[in-house]
């Protein structure tokens, strides 16, 4: 019985470390995405519909990551990397907005949202290529 409890505790510790590491990796990707795709193109180059869709997906990812940290680690506002994501150019959440706790509506898969963003970028590049023909 004691060994079973130790195994559960060890797996729980591993899961906690993995969640935090995964959240930090997604934060890094979002920061790079904001720097590489959003800022240089600025609002002149991005259609309003694409900009609004990007912002929505990035905000959804922010809240999903915050929910993951809160649910698995009990952290609400303690992670500075996540707070930096909330302040990104395309996210632009206020401190008041970021101080709120996530709820069940924020239970989305951040990986799926990233794939949607990549798909939107690919469609945008294809459209630009077709227009230049």
Distance between CA atoms of residues 106 and 55, nearest Å:
15
Look at the chain and report how many structural domains it folds into.
1
Residue 117 CB contacts under 8 Å (≥ 6 apart), including other chains: 33, 54, 57, 58
| Residue 28: CB atoms within 10 Å | 12
| pLDDT confidence of residue 127 | 52
Contact 34, 83 (CB under 8 A): no
pLDDT digits (tens, 9 = 90+) for 106-133: 888 888 888 888 887 666 555 554 444 4
Domain that holds residue 20: 2-131
110-131 helix and 2-33 helix, angle to the nearest 10 degrees? 20
| Residue 19: CB atoms within 10 Å | 17
Give the predicted TM-score (pTM) of the model.
0.76
pLDDT digits (tens, 9 = 90+) for 9-53: 778 777 777 888 888 899 999 898 888 766 555 555 677 788 888
- Name the token pair of 122: 């690919």
pLDDT digits (tens, 9 = 90+) for 70-96: 887 777 666 888 899 999 888 889 989
């Amino acid at each position: 019985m004691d060994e079973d409890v130790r195994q559960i505790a060890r797996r729980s510790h591993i899961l906690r470390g993995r969640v935090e590491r995964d959240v930090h990796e997604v934060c890094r990707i979002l920061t790079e995405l904001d720097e590489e795709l959003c800022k240089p193109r600025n609002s002149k180059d991005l259609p309003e519909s694409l900009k609004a869709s990007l912002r929505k997906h990035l905000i959804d990812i922010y809240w999903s990551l915050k929910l993951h940290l809160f649910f698995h680690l009990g952290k609400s506002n303690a992670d500075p990397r996540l707070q930096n994501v909330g302040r990104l150019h395309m996210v632009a959440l206020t401190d008041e907005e970021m101080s709120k706790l996530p709820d069940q509506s924020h239970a989305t898969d951040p990986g799926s949202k990233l794939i949607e963003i990549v798909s939107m970028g690919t469609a945008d590049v294809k459209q630009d290529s077709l227009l230049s023909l």
